[in-house]
Each structure stands twice: as C-alpha cells, then as structure tokens.
Copies of this chain bind each other. A is one copy, B any other.
Amino acid sequence: MATVTIRDVAREAKVSPGTVSRAMNDSPLVSEATRQRILEVVKTLNYSPNLTARKLSLGKTLTISVVLPFLTRPAYTERLNGVIATLNSSHYDLTIHAVQSPDQRDVIFQDVIHHKRSDGVLIISLPSKDSEVEFLSNAEIPIILIDAFHPELNMLDQVFIDDIEGGKMATRHLIEHGHKKIGYIGDIFDTPFRFSSSRDRYRGYRLALKDADIPFFDEYYAEDEHGRLEARHLALKMLNSNHPPTAIFAYSDTTAWGVMEAAQELGVKIPEDLSLIGFDDIELAEYLKLTTIHQPLFDSGQRGMELLLDKLESPQKNAVQEKQNIQLIIRQTTAPPK
C-alpha cells in the first residue's frame, strides 16, 4: 500500500509531474485530451495529493486557527458554531486552541500568531492585554477579534457588542419599573483571562444608576468566577443581607440561573419579590422565562469568519470594527417592586 505520489501518476500517464499538477488544478495550460487521460489515471490509482506537500509548495497553511476559552459556556459554543458553519463551505481546515488556564492563554497567543501555523486567526472572547497590542498589530497574518474589543487594535477586524450600553439597557429597564435597590452579580474583574465584559456591563449599570440619580451601595455588587453555583452563593448572601435589593442585574443568563435558584431556595418570588434580568439570551433563557439582553452569538462567529475569509481574499482591505446590535427581551422575571 505504498502511497501514490504525483510522480506515479505522471509515469503512468506518460507526462511530467508538472502537467499532472496543472491538470488537477484546472490550469488552462493543459490540453483537454491530456487532462482527461490524467484524470483517468488519477482515478485508477486512487491518487490524492499530499496536503502537507501542497501547503509547503504553496506557502500557505490552508488552515485557520480559532482561539477561544474552553467550551464551558453556551455562549462560546454558539459562537464557535457560527464560525464552523461559515467555514464549512471553504477549503480551509479549522484548528481549535481552547484555553484552559491563564498561562496557556499567553502561550497559545504567541504560538498561534507567531509560528505561522495558520493563514488567519480568530480570537473569541479573549480580550488582548495592552502589552500585546504591538505584537498583535504586527502579526503577518490576519487576526479577527470576536467579542474581544480593544480600541487600540483598530488595524484588526473586530466584531463586538457595546457591553456598556448593554449594562445600561438592562439597568434602565429595572429602573423604569421603579426599582432603586438594584444589585449586580458578575464575573471577577481581574481575571487573568482578561475577560472584560463583566466590567463593562457593570460600568453601564453604574452609569444608568447615575443618570437616574440613584445612589450605589457597595453591598449591591458581588463577583466571583463565572458559573451557576457561584452565582447562587453570591445571590444567597445578597438576598439575606439587611438591605436586600429588589432587583438584580445578572452578568449572564447562567448567572441569572444561579440567582433564580437562590431565590427559590429562600422563598423569594420572582418577579413579585425580586426582579431579575440576565444577559446573552441563550436557549435556556426562554425556558426560564428570563428577561434578558439578547446578543447575536452565532452571528458573531459567522460574521467574524466572513471577515476573515474576506481578508484572506483581499488582504489590502481596510479593517472594520463592526458593532452588533443588542436588544432587550422582556419575559417574565421583571416587574415593579412591591
């Protein structure tokens, strides 16, 4: 079962390897007659070109790298699905680099971008450090940032939402219902992964409070690693305090889910005793009847990949920073306070 090479085909078809190559790549420099003969031989020998050799010769990797956090949140999976769906029609391979720990993050960043493993890179939900700006902007291959906005990286294509605006939007909705005691439960700000959306949504929250002249109290802010259970703990504590909030803005739908569990545990009724708003609008949100801020997850992956493919086609094109729309989805977890 020795592997068949282009030279075997050439010999059999009584032509040179170059001609075989051209025949297979639809070059107009081959006569129809020989092309047919060659394709015939290709079929009988069951020849298929060695991709590695092809890549080396072409000077391309025909590969796209995706760097994203370990798939622990539905939001990541959805974005990845958007990426995959869009790539599927092209001839590129997709290699994933899922970041599981902060050290890994840095290694992977360096590795993927520097070592020319791929023709282009998509970075999802992993914001860049300021110290990385230079090295990212000098990369020789196109890099697209999805949900990882950085203002100084405007030479890169970016797809993002305005988390500050989203935070405002959510908080305003609660305020409009008449709430004044509004808690925020979010992710750790200073995570080594550099996730920044919790910080931004919190900023929006504070801005909305300020706009409405509602004072902020420290006990209305709580943070921990992302997760349902973590959020449940934080919510239990906040709801059990002396001055429990009448509404909570949860950083994500998963966070909100944890809050709902806590409320249930304490016999706090939603939305009667507590209004709750989440963020993302994952599938679960509908089932939970959770009021939330919708952001396009699948679309962001799709759009990012489209931009990358564009860039690979025409590298000279200017980078675009594309802000995607977000939207308040009112369901049944928000109401005026009693």
Say yes or no: A96-B70 contact (C-beta < 8 A), given A51-B116, A51-B117, A52-B61: no
- Name A95's contact: one of B72, B94, B261, B287 (CB within 8 Å): B94
Q: How many residues of A contact B (CB 8 A)?
A: 38
> Smallest CB–CB gap between A220 and chain B, Å?
25
Residues of A within 8 A of B (CB): 1, 3, 48, 50-53, 55-56, 61, 63, 70-72, 77, 80-81, 84-85, 88, 93-96, 98, 100, 104, 114-117, 140, 228, 257, 261, 283-284, 287
CA distance A55 to B84 in the complex (A): 25
| In contact, B140 and A1 (Cβ under 8 angstroms) | yes
| In contact, A95 and B53 (Cβ under 8 angstroms) | no
In the assembled complex, 18 residue pairs joining A and B whose CB atoms fall closer than 8 Å, in A order, are: A3-B116, A51-B61, A51-B117, A52-B55, A52-B56, A56-B56, A63-B95, A71-B80, A71-B81, A72-B81, A77-B77, A88-B104, A93-B95, A93-B117, A94-B96, A96-B96, A228-B287, A257-B287
CA distance A227 to B60 in the complex (A): 40
**Chain B residue at smallest Cβ distance from A111:** B48
Q: Inside 8 A of A287's CB, which chain B residues have their CB? A: 228, 257, 261
Q: Inside 8 A of A96's CB, which chain B residues have their CB? A: 84, 94-96
Say yes or no: A84-B98 contact (C-beta < 8 A), given A77-B71, A257-B287: yes
